[in-house]
Structure 1
Amino acid sequence: MFGHLKLRKTFNRSLFTTVMLIAVSQFNFGFDQQGFNSTQAMDAFERQFGWYNPQKKVYYLESWWLSLFAGLPYIGFGIGILIGSSVSKRFGRRMCMFSMSVWSCIATTVIMTSKSRDQILAARILAYIYIGMELAVVPIYQSEITPQCARGFVVGTYQLSLAVGGLVVNVVARGTGSLNSSAAYLIPYGLFYLVPLIVIAGIWFVPESPRWLAMQGRNEEALIALTRLREGKFTEDEIAAEMAHVRAGIDREVEKGKFKDMFHGKQMTKRTMSVIGVNFFMQATGSIFASVYGAIFVKQLGFINPFTVTIITSIINIFMCLCAMVLLDKMGRRNVIFFGGSIQTAGLFAMGGLGLTQNPSVPVKSAIVAMMIVMTTGFTLGWAPTSHVLSAEIPSMRLRDITYRTASVVNIAMQFTIAFTLPYLLNAPYANLGSKVGLIFGSIGFLSLVFVYLCVPECKGRTLEEIHTLFEMEVPLRKFQKMDLSRMDAHVSSHKQDVETGSDIVVALHVGGKD
């Protein structure tokens, strides 16, 4: 299954440890997203933070407050993207991961001590600053340390870790959901401390991104870091050649890393719009319906335990993430995102069509839930992992941070828009569309497939420097995979002698064998 990735021939202990630590850091996004998705459907949560209906003698959450609770955290998300991208670019990938983890511990303390609606809302906004910083650094860090043959696999762990974190917190919520005290939701929230403490303890024991070091002009340190990530699996000549490719890529670029440079010239504009479009459609196709409101929606249907559905969905998502991680470097980015997006679009249209049924029976309600799971399955296979890979691969090296930051702001703006409007679309006395929202998102899903066909390049098996060259050569996006770049070697050869000299420094320092 993983043979084409050559993992045994690619991963030494240092690279494996670094990838695993970064992957663990992503669990917290799953904890947060699915933790609040599940706990807001708990009776104990509704009693603490909801309103009392004296006629029905039940506590409930107002649609307008759910809208704020799901939408306003993306303000923190956006702030986190800006902070994380700036810290990552100026101080390094490791410092960004360390600082975001410290912040997460502070925000979690505010969550755990919340007693009012205003405090829990403010706490979630603060917590999303961490999530934004994580999104700003993790895919870029992963793409910069991993050989091209496994880059799709490794960056795909972003969505896998989110799914694993979601499964863990959903299982915990399933066990605590019946408790009558605040422990029902506080126990799942307590998981938010675990991951940041692990990252704080371990991040300084893994190498910094060699590409980031090279961009700072710290070439000797970059070679040492790259050697730590490759020794034992690659020869000194291969390490020197990779370092030469990195330096050549940096030297060829004339961009200064300013916002306007992302739209300087036809090819740079094409790269920028590809990344922005991927992030737009990732959220515009409606995944938030299931990830943020899924538990409440299923609870309103009233025929199955919503926590059981969230667990089933999480298990399926993990399996689909594993499939995507393998397929991204085997089938390619375009094929995976098109296949997964087609499944998602079909699920959305089917769910929306079933919602047209008046007074739906239990079988119809079951089919609606099933189609919601199908929609999520397609998203987890297609848009979810592939968007992060493409967003890290397509931008030019000097503009990678600012391009990723800009695209992430678009991503967040769409998440905010959809999360904020969904309660009004779903519930009475507003639009009261229920599952018919699938018809809206399904239509957008169809447009997303057209975008993929026309505007998404195939980056499978390419180094980041080769991708840059393909754009410089103005190769049509649909022909990226077929282009022969063997002539690029001559362009790089002039750098190799300098890097080989640098490799002697590594040997003298006895870096070998010290992961």
Structure 2
Amino acid sequence: MDNKLDREVTADDVDVKPGTDNAVLDPALDEAVKFEHSLTFVQACKLYPSAIAWSAFVSMGVIMLAFDPQLLGNLYAMPQFQQDFGYLYDGQYIISAPWQTGLSMGNPVGQVVGALIAGYPMERFGRKWTFGACVTLTAALVFIQFFARSLQVLLVGELLGGLVLGCYAVIAPAYSSEVCPMAIRGIVTSYVNLCFVIGQLLGNSVCAGTQNLNDHWAYSIPFALQWFWCLIIIPGMFWVPESPWWLVRRGRLDEAERVLRRLASKKIDVGQTLAVIVETDRLEQELEMGSTYWDCFKGVNLRRTEISVGVYCTQVLSGIYLINYGTYFFTLAGLDTDQAFNMGIGFLAVGFLGTICSWPLIVRYGRRTIYNSGLFLLVFLQLIIGILDCIPGRPTNVIWAESSLMLIWNFFYDLSIGPVCFVIISEASATRVRSKSIAIATAAQGALGCVMTVAIPYMINPDQANMQGKLGFFFGGLALLCFVWAYFRVPETKGRTFDELDILFERHVPTRQFATYVIEGGASHER
């Protein structure tokens, strides 16, 4: 598909009228916007293969982010790890709840601190070099975990490693949304969720393969495998294209044009794409979107930040942190160690399938419908699990029913709010504060994660509350509150360019009218 114009489009072609809430495009830019709207998913995949590939490459950092906490959650159920790091309780070795809390705190604390820190180098040095620095630091900090032979040393390794790992949750969705066109933006940003699932699945699978070893290699091998991803990513870092949106904000238009040529096929007129990026940036400057953390909470950006924070925090409140304790949870539910590890792998395998199945739904139905429908179903499943756990004596068939429902729950989680969350946080935020808005959402989610990291071991450990399946009541109730919020606050962002989203938020369009609100030459009409 060739969409070349008769003349070169530059930043001078963009005109934003002072004091207005919309950009006025010359015919060339108007044609460029119409072209992006006309692209189908299949056409976009053919025209932007490099953009998709580099987006997937940068998202690999999320695999490392997800692998680490999943690894720890499995180690708590690993006999050799329990023996080397735990203490005897009622005839078996366990890791105490306080130490489980401390060790598991590294990842959510890292998401809080690391995410907020990441916003600064991402804006100063760009997405590419911030990502490269994080991968290099991760490779160095894995040495602490690998050689740890005490809980104290392992705690240091987890805390330091978590600070760096938290940056990947900001870099991946921001980069993916900025290198790909609107038609495939939903898929590449939701791919971040698939990377979470891959990391968790690998963590479970590796531990299932080493859990029967009778020496320190039972847990040292899983720690060492974190170097595998570093060895893949570091050599390729030198060829990663920088975000064209970041380059435009830095005034480096020539470099932005060269990057766009690398990301798109030769059939695309990158001059058009560059002009639209410049126009959107100028529009946001006119609308005083700002570029600091404080700007995320000023004016219309406050609503956009609330949406990003809300959808990300809903993941935690609906019970996703139970995945990190999945295998341990299954052993406490009454399954033997081998069955628990197999169930843990199956748990994440259905999550992998769910994420892939979500892609055609995202393309067809958008964001709001999938998110709200999925969240309501998760509430229902959690409450059923809680009710089943109230059956006196908890017979074996009830234990298996609860475990099976957890698998179904995870499938629908990764079919809906899991992947769609990353689409929404990438689209709801203004481009000038995208990295900082995603950082704030990630930090808020991490802060809630810290609360859950403290609470869950006490709720599930046999020497503490021993709630077992009754956790369904707890997380089902929280998820119900999230559903009520999402129904009134989460808009439909499918099929909107970034400048159109700026205008919709600036005009304070009601949540349920986002999908039908029409912007025509500066005038709006209800369909």
TM-score, normalization by structure 2: 0.87
Q: Does 1:274 align with 2:307?
A: yes
Shift of 1:375: 2.2
Q: Equivalent of 1:473, from 507, 510, 519?
A: 507
Q: CA deviation at 1:186?
A: 1.5
| CA distance in 1 between partners of 2:200 and 2:270 (Å) | 41
| Conserved 8 A contact 2:107-2:165 | no
One-letter identity of the residue aligned with 1:298: F
Equivalent residues of 1:345, 1:375 under 8 A apart: no
Report the aligned-residue RMSD.
2.1
- Name the CA distance, whole Å, in 1 between partners of 2:274 and 2:328: 55
Q: Is it true that 1:264 corresponds to 2:298 in the alignment?
A: yes
Against the structure 1 CA distance between its residues 119 and 449, is the aligned structure 2 distance closer, same or farther, given a 3 Å change threshold?
same
Letter in 1 for 2:449: Q
Residue from 309, 312, 324 that aligns with 1:292: 324
Runs of 5+ unmatched residues, structure 1? 490-515
CA distance, structure 1, for counterparts of residue 317 and residue 198 of structure 2: 24
Which residue matches 1:363? 397
Greater alpha carbon shift after TM alignment, 192-201 vs 63-72? 63-72
Q: What's the counterpart of residue 229 of structure 2?
A: 195
**Mapping 1:426-505, distance limit 5 Å:** 426-487=460-521
Distance 1:220 1:370, change over 3 A: same
CA distance 1:243–1:407, change in 2 (3 Å): closer
Q: Is residue 110–residue 166 contact of structure 2 (8 Å, CA) maintained in 1? A: yes
Q: Is the 8 A contact 1:145 1:229 kept in 2?
A: yes
Q: d(CA) in 2 for partners of 1:150 and 1:34?
A: 29
- Give the distance between the partners of 1:243 and 1:68, measured in 2 at CA: 45
Render the CA deviation track for 1:336-362: whole Å, top value 9, x for unaligned. 111221222122111111111222111
Task: Sort the Cα spacing of 1:488 and 1:247 in 2 relative to 1 into closer, same or farther, 3 A.
Answer: farther
Between the two proteins, what is the percent identity of the paired residues? 26
Give the whole-Å Cα distance in 2 for the aligned partners of 1:7 and 1:135: 29
Partner of 1:216: 250
Equivalent position to 1:283, from 316, 330, 352: 316
After TM superposition, list the pairs within 5 Å mapping 1:313-352 onto structure 2. Answer: 313-352=347-386
Aligned match of 1:93: 127
Which whole-Å CA distance do the structure 2 matches of 1:113 and 1:7 have between them? 49
8 Å contact 1:92–1:208 — kept in the other structure?
yes
Q: Does 1:52 align with 2:88?
A: yes
Which amino acid in the other structure matches residue 294 of structure 1?
G
Looking at structure 2, the residues matched to 334 and 232 of structure 1 have their Cα atoms a distance apart, in angstroms, of 35
Question: Shift of the alpha carbon at 1:6?
Answer: 1.8
Distance 1:237 1:113, change over 3 A: closer
Q: Which moved more, 1:379-388 or 1:311-320?
A: 379-388
Distance 1:155 1:337, change over 3 A: same
Do the aligned residues in 2 keep the contact of 1:101 with 1:197 (CA within 8 Å)?
no
| Cα contact 2:107–2:162 (8 A) shared by 1 | yes
Q: Tell me, what secondary structure is at the counterpart of 1:379?
A: helix
| Cα pair distance change 1:25/1:324, threshold 3 Å | same
Distance in 2 (CA, whole Å) between partners of 1:245 and 1:342 is 39
Partner residue, 2:335: 303
- Residue identity opposite 1:281 in structure 2: T
**Distance (whole Å) between structure 2 residues aligned to residue 199 and residue 464 of structure 1:** 30
Report the counterpart of residue 53 of structure 2 in structure 1.
17
Q: Deviations over 1:265-299 (max 9, x none)?
A: 3x33222222222122221111112x111111111
Which of the numbers 17, 29, 44 marks the counterpart of 2:65? 29
Residues 299-356 of structure 1, C-alpha deviation per residue, up to 9 Å, x if partnerless?
1223342110111112101111112233222211111111221222122111111111
2:55 & 2:431 partners in 1: Cα distance?
A: 21
The answer to whether the Cα contact below 8 Å between 1:4 and 1:330 also exists between their aligned partners in 2 is no
1:464 shift after superposition:
1.6
| 8 Å CA contact retained: 1:215, 1:250 | no
What one-letter code is carried by the residue in structure 2 that aligns with 1:28?
M
Matches within 5 A, 1:111-190: 111-190=145-224
> Structure 2 vs 1, CA of residues 236 and 281 (structure 1 numbering), >3 Å: closer, same or farther?
closer
Where 2:88 maps in the other structure, the secondary structure is strand
Choose from 67, 76, 91 the match for 1:40.
Answer: 76
Indicate if the aligned counterparts of 2:460 and 2:466 stay in contact, CA closer than 8 A: yes
| Counterpart position of 2:33 | none
Q: Is the 8 A contact 1:348 1:442 kept in 2?
A: yes
Q: What secondary structure is seen at the aligned counterpart in 1 of 2:465?
A: coil
Task: Please say if residues 292 and 419 of structure 1, whose CA atoms lie closer than 8 Å, have aligned partners that are also in contact.
Answer: no
The amino acid that maps onto 2:317 is: A
Where does residue 504 of structure 1 map in the other structure?
Answer: none
The whole-number CA distance in structure 1 between the counterparts of 2:393 and 2:379 is: 25
> Which is worse superposed, 63-72 or 129-138?
63-72
Pair 247,188 (structure 1): closer, same or farther in 2 beyond 3 Å: same
